Amino acid sequence: MSVITLMTDFGIKDGNVGVMKGVIWGICPTAQISDLSHMIQAQNIREAAYVFARSVPYFPKGSIHVVVVDPGVGTNRRPMAAQIGDWFYVGPDNGTVTGLLERAEQSGWQTDFVELNRVEYWLKDISYVFHGRDIFSPVAAHLANGVSLHELGTPFNDPVRLQLPKPEQTKDGWRGEVTHIDHFGNISTNIRVEHLGDAIGQKENIVVRLNGIEINGMVNTFGERSVGEIIALIGSTGNLGIALVNGNAAAKLSVKPGDEIFIISDPKGLREAPPRRSEGGRDL
């Protein structure tokens, strides 16, 4: 019984996501299909890459992840399937896999890429504008049925990669960027718990600055502060986050993706251990 997820910028009102499920079940009737998100901002590949990288590791080995945020549909951008570690990606070769690829390289996971070109695994009629339905869903379903990656197309090894911003060390800490604003208005950044090194053991000494405000000391969770306070904490996938207890931090602070954020801490703690990703949460 295979798991397939769908992530798109299609929204939820037009039936297109349902149609993809219909196509999948027509080929692989037992697939367990989950939506990941269909509210990715239109054409925002970077947001898709962010949600993809942090979500996929929680899915079972062998799960197949279809992502269709695809401004280049119908042009000569490559349709692609890939194995990255224990999981499969199916979608356009447009950089969506960048974040997970970085993690694969840090963790020594295997990767394998094919350009989809075996039309016998696609729908018979291919539109110019909906490859999610015509190519990617049927390919995912055939993968779920046990067709191997290399039967689906021609191997290649230069997938498109996004230039994701990296935190930079400063004299007293790190400069990072806001990467995502979630449904609650919580702010995620690209500074990770590993950047903080031993300093994380003395949360009360850490200072965070963004958009003209300064947060003194970090906390572990929301309930440690009163409703209405701005807090800094490590989010559920290890990234530095800023939140407003029971409120919308991004709205209150007028923060948006790309804004810069500084973290200032005990220089000793910050400069020791090189940043390295934990395997946090992957093992059940």
Q: Does 117 bind a second copy (CB under 8 A)?
A: no
Q: Does 129 bind a second copy (CB under 8 A)?
A: yes
Kindly tell me which residue out of 105, 172, 224, 272 binds a second copy, with binding defined by CB under 8 A: 224
Q: Does 204 bind a second copy (CB under 8 A)?
A: no
**Contact 202/253 with Cβ under 8 angstroms?**
no
Q: Does 218 bind a second copy (CB under 8 A)?
A: no
Q: How far is the CB of 233 from a second copy (least distance, A)?
A: 7
Q: Does 38 bind a second copy (CB under 8 A)?
A: yes
Per rule CB under 8 A, count of chain residues that contact a second copy: 77
Partners of 7 in the beta sheet?
37, 67
Interface of this chain with a second copy, residues 242 to 281, rule: CB under 8 A: 246, 278, 280-281
Count of C-beta atoms within a 10 Å radius of residue 247: 15
Choice between 155 and 258, CB closer to a second copy? 258
**12's tokens:** 């939820």
Q: Does 193 bind a second copy (CB under 8 A)?
A: no
Give me the sign of the Cα torsion angle 112, 114, 70, 76: positive
Q: How far is the CB of 271 from a second copy (least distance, A)?
A: 25
**Contact 184/248 with Cβ under 8 angstroms?**
yes
* Amino acid residing at 58: Y
Q: Does 226 bind a second copy (CB under 8 A)?
A: no
Mask for 149-188, x = binds a second copy (CB under 8 A):
-------------------------------x-xxx----
Cα(226)–Cα(14) distance, integer angstroms:
41
Cα(109)–Cα(147) distance, integer angstroms:
21
Choice between 171 and 244, CB closer to a second copy? 244
Cα(247)–Cα(5) distance, integer angstroms:
30
Q: Does 58 bind a second copy (CB under 8 A)?
A: yes
Interface of this chain with a second copy, residues 71 to 110, rule: CB under 8 A: 71-75, 77
**Contact 190/258 with Cβ under 8 angstroms?**
no
Give the containing element (helix H, strand E) for 141: helix 137-144
